[in-house]
Amino acid sequence: MAPESTMSQAKSLPPAAAPRKALTLFDASLVGPAIGDAFRKLDPRTQARSPVMFVVYVGSIMTTLMLVLSLAGPGAADSGFILAISVWLWFTVLFANFAEALAEGRSKAQAASLRGLKTAVMAKKLATPKHGTPWLPAPGTDLRKGNVILVEAGDVIPIDGEVIEGVASVDESAITGESAPVIRESGGDFSAVTGGTRVLSDWLVVRVSVNPGETFLDRMISMVEGAKRQKTPNEIALTILLVALTIVFLVVTVTLLPFSLFGVAAAGAGSPVSVTVLIALLVCLIPTTIGALLSSIGVAGMSRMMGANVIATSGRAVEAAGDVDVLLLDKTGTITLGNRQAAGFFPAPGVTEQQLADVAQLASLADETPEGRSIVVLAKQRFNIREREMGALHAVFIPFSANTRMSGVDIGERQVRKGAADSARKHVEALGMPYPAGMGRLVDDVSRRGSTPLVVADGARVMGVVELKDIVKGGIKERFAELRRMGIKTVMITGDNKLTAAAIAAEAGVDDFLAEATPEDKLKLIRDYQGEGRLVAMTGDGTNDAPALAQADVAVAMNSGTQAAKEAGNMVDLDSNPTKLLEIVEIGKQMLMTRGSLTTFSIANDIAKYFAIIPAAFVGTYPQLKALDIMGLSSPDSAIMSAVIFNALIIIVLIPLALKGVRYRAIGAAALLRRNILIYGVGGIVLPFAGIKLIDMVLSALHLV
């Protein structure tokens, strides 16, 4: 097809979707729908999913019915008092619904933004999988697995695929939220492209890897929408505990009515406690705070994971991340930067360092790899050795080969080589020269420092060793120390020899390492740790990682990785950053910490309510109970009303904490427990006393009771 046709077709393609917008905590686009959802959630079928709040819901209905009865005739309590109690009980239910709806709204917004990326575009379908061959326009929805398409600068990639030819800059901000473009090219670990992203420069020939409806975007949407409703094992266990506490308080409250009737009859004075007061007492005593926020904590945890550009298949995966106690981390790209750089020249006996640098630079002049370029630069920096033109030397570049494990140049009859130690030995011996005895010691010394040794030979003469150092990422040692304080073991996995692996492991501060690792070794290591009762997390991006990912408790697949790896993992990192595993663990722990802290706070809250409601409810029959009114509340009605109002308002106050999560701190379990008890246990006792007293003062000042 003609170039003009190509240009016109490219212009007809719609632009890629805008980058995902970050939502604030109380974003206007979330609050409005959440208020509407709070009322829609008053459906009994919805309320029944939360046993604790269902009790409050039933109590609200009962007080409303008693209000109607009191308006029809004299009742056991004042109509105004019943009205106030009923209104605040409904507020309690609505506030709980609002918290859940606000958390769900964030997930819905995330799913909607992802759904907006599914733009119908025309694809350039190639009959022959080769750039420059004719193409025909075809709707993106008609593409099938195995089809080959062309995408050029300005085109939106219509569907997921694998680059089989070309290299191009791609804008993935719509998926990852990252504005910087990424390079996608054929071969290697960065050949995967995602539908909905846009090519900024050059061109790509892409083989479609999925059918419509099975794309990564489709999976992301189903993950975000499907995960938020699933209760995690810890959440289920906590729900059972809360139900048990609710049943206990329900039995206690029910028995108080006949007790009150008997007490009044025996004393011949006072009046029995009203059903309205008993309902207020029950609602205040059961763990309504954590019951109201439990669901929103789980949903918010999923949202925070999504905010970190990680898609989790379920809340179970997020929770498991919080319980992880072993991290398996690849060396290259995770612990180290991944680009080895020349760090030193170590000459053989009888060779000067400058002579070694000169020959090493000569062998690297045509080597465009980062390692090769770093050798040229280091020789120039150390000895001011200028680069030479390969053409002027009439040199022939010998590229690296997996068979020879060497590269270099041929200048006439002169053979200059650099490569692995054993390959260099074979090369020298093949030329009829002995391999220097001291070279083995030099190679071992470099390996012990965690570096990679390259032996340089000029013909049959061994010149020495070039040290290639893989730089450990800045700050990674401190992060590993934090994980250690939390009781998490870090294990480095590498294909390097044991000497190199041990050196890098010591420099990075990991607890253990697995050297010369194969896929089978990874799988065995995971099973061994799981056999000890540990939860294991790991990352992977290749098909060979799929078995280990499937076995791990938390398996994070890279977005740029293979389809097999993505399917084996229970999380997908959109940024394809292996270090993200550390952040995932932190988010998981933060969710567990938030749930534990708010549970502690909720249970501690009850103590103040004992001193507020119980004396108020029975002081008419037993005046001695006035001594328990340590807050000095103005009246029994005011005490009960203040406790109910505080019980409702505290839910609203804690919504930001439930959605944002408790601040993560890298401390041990014992220290974390002490901090939790001090802040949320003691704080949960003190705050209600102050809050109830303040509300009582306001009610009295306004003459509302």
Please answer whether residues 508 and 479 qualify as being in contact, where contact means their C-beta atoms are separated by less than 8 angstroms. Answer: no
Under 8 Å between Cβ of 440 and 453? no
Tokens of 61: 């209905």
Nearest one of 242, 229, 204, 185 to 52, comparing CA atoms: 242
**Three-class SS state of 248:** helix
DSSP string, 484-503: HHTT-EEEEE-SS-HHHHHH
Q: Dihedral through CA 525, CA 530, CA 533, CA 535, nearest 10?
A: 100
Torsion of CA 520, 524, 525, 526, to 10 degrees: 110
| Cα(464)–Cα(351) distance, integer angstroms | 8
Q: For 411, which DSSP code?
A: E
Q: Rounded to the nearest 5°, which phi and psi values hold at 577?
A: -110, 105
**Other Cβ atoms within 10 Å of 76 Cβ, number:** 15
Q: What are phi and psi of 274, to 5 degrees?
A: -80, 160
Q: What is the DSSP string of 351-383?
A: --HHHHHHHHHHHHTT--SHHHHHHHHHHHHHH
CA distance 274 to 617: 8
Give, as one character, the DSSP assignment of residue 140: G
| DSSP code at position 625 | G
Give burial (CB, 10 Å; 0-12/13-18/19+) of 185: middle
Q: Is 330 a catalytic residue?
A: yes
In angstroms, the CA 155 to CA 174 distance is 14
In the block, residue with structure tokens 């892409």: 206
Q: What are the two backbone dihedrals, phi and then psi, of residue 364, each rounded to the nearest 5 degrees?
A: -110, 0
Annotated catalytic residue within 37, 160, 218, 330:
330
Q: Which residues contact 508 (CB under 8 A, 6 or more apart)?
A: 335, 336, 472, 476, 477, 480, 492
- Separation CA 672–CA 680 (nearest Å): 11
Distance CA 451, CA 123 (A): 47
* Burial (CB count within 10 angstroms: exposed 0-12, middle 13-18, buried 19+), residue 10: middle
CB distance 123 to 158 below 8 Å: yes
User: What residues have CB less than 8 Å from 34, skipping those under 6 apart?
Assistant: 98, 101, 102, 105
Alpha carbons 189 and 184: distance in angstroms, whole number: 9
Are 430 and 389 spatial neighbours (Cβ–Cβ below 8 Å)? no
Task: Calculate the alpha carbon distances from 486 to 331, 433, 451, 480, 670 in Å.
Answer: 22, 56, 30, 10, 10
Catalytic positions, written as ranges: 330
